[in-house]
Amino acid sequence: MLSRIDHIGIACHDLDATVEFYQRTYGFTDAHFEVNEEQGVRECMLKINTTGDGAASYIQLITPIRDDSTVAKWLEKNGEGVHHIAFGTDGTDVQEEADGIAGKGVRVLYEQPRRGSMDSRITFLHPKDCHGVLTELVQKAE
């Protein structure tokens, strides 16, 4: 089952400046940086709180590293802002969750889960099937 808000994905132009803003303004100091070559982004996971399912909720700040990445195109169209939201599984397989949701008529964007932040397994749901919200499903690493 889906048991938490895993993260809110926010696209920005300058990752370091945006991380610094969140740390200085709100005091969210627990930061994990990585590059996801497949997604074409550099990102920072800022841990906000722990969750009742034994995991945590994050703000995920993402910036494109290539002009042809989907986030680069999104930023060009929309400017900085919330790019997607993500729900986490309670340990259940993310593909199982996606299959169950696909069975309810929602398009799943990946045929197979891909690698997300901190070695999670992720997939996305089509925003047009989710009332305008690009929605990610996350199974965190063991």
Tokens 């593909």 belong to residue: 95
Considering only CA atoms, which of 77, 68, 7 is closest in space to residue 40? 68
Min dist CB 103 to a second copy, Å, is 10
Decide: is 1 part of the binding site for a second copy (CB under 8 A). Answer: yes
Residue 13 near residue 42 (C-beta atoms within 8 A):
no
Binding a second copy by CB under 8 A: which of 33, 34, 38, 49? 49
Instruction: Pick one of 2, 44, 98, 108: the residue that binds a second copy (CB under 8 A).
Output: 2
Cβ distance to a second copy smaller for residue 2 or 94: 2
| Residue 33 contacts a second copy per CB under 8 A | no
Give the three-state DSSP class for 72.
helix
Q: Which phi and psi (to 5°) does residue 120 adopt?
A: -75, 165
Q: Which two tokens stand for residue 62?
A: 């993402």
CB of 36 to a second copy, least distance (A): 20
- By CB atoms closer than 10 A (0-12, 13-18, 19+), residue 102 is middle
- Judged by the rule CB under 8 A, the positions of this chain that interact with a second copy are 1-5, 8, 10, 12, 18, 21, 24-28, 48-53, 57, 59, 79-82, 85, 87, 101, 104, 106, 127, 130-133
